[in-house]
Amino acid sequence: MAIKEVLLYPDSRLKEICARIDEFDDSAGKLLQDLVDTMLAAGHSVGVAAPQIGAVRRAVVVDVSNSKLGKKQKNHGLLQMINPEIIEKSGDQVVREGCMSVPDYTGNVNRAERIVVQFSDPQGNLQVISAEGFEAIAIQHELDHLDGLLFLDRVSSLKTDLYRRKQK
């Protein structure tokens, strides 16, 4: 469909809580396709959430299968999730995260090691999957966007756990 511009922090739309999607119509399908196109066009992205492209709706896409970390672990390939919700978490890990909406920084964030996620697929069918490792981290990161949270909100200390990215 279309490659969309990714909103950058401090754009206020990134802090909004997204509305549920109740109709699985052409607009929901177009939104998911726009998210996939935007993620693929970035070249380095493993996920994008609807608010990052200015749509305040509960939809995300995640695909870690082509990333260095994702290739090392079992993963689900391209996930297109509508109204996703984490229903189970276990384990605890601190990981370094970055975000297309905060391009100049990375930070240490505490995430669950394993999660179970419930969501609707593009056709409106309810799905439940288990994810672990890098895929679980990516899903948690994208789902935070739906509640107006950035990884910056989860960094325990902006002084010691936030890092400026090296410029190429």
Given this model, what pLDDT does residue 168 score?
Answer: 58
Q: Which residues are catalytic?
A: 142
Assess whether pLDDT exceeds 90 at residue 158. Answer: no
The structural architecture, per CATH, of the domain 12-164 is Alpha-Beta Complex (3.90)
What's 7's DSSP letter? P
Q: Which range has the worst mean pLDDT, 65-69, 76-80, 87-91, 159-163?
A: 65-69
Give the global pTM. Answer: 0.95
Does 74 or 102 have the greater pLDDT score? 102
Q: Which two tokens stand for residue 37?
A: 């196109």
Q: Considering only 43-47, 69-73, 121-125, which range has the smallest mean pLDDT?
A: 69-73
Q: What secondary structure does DSSP assign to 127-145, as a single string?
A: EEEEEEHHHHHHHHHHHHH
Model pLDDT, residue 73: 81
What are φ and ψ of residue 72, in 5° steps?
-80, -15
Average pLDDT over residues 147-155: 97
Q: How far apart are CA 9 and CA 58, in angstroms?
A: 19
Residue where the block lists tokens 């511009």: 5
- CA 23, 24, 26, 32 torsion-angle sign: positive
Residue 79 pLDDT > 70: yes
Helix (H, G, I), strand (E, B) or coil at 58: coil
* Residues above pLDDT 90, as percent of the chain: 88
Tell me, what's the pLDDT at 66? 87
Residue 92, pLDDT score: 96
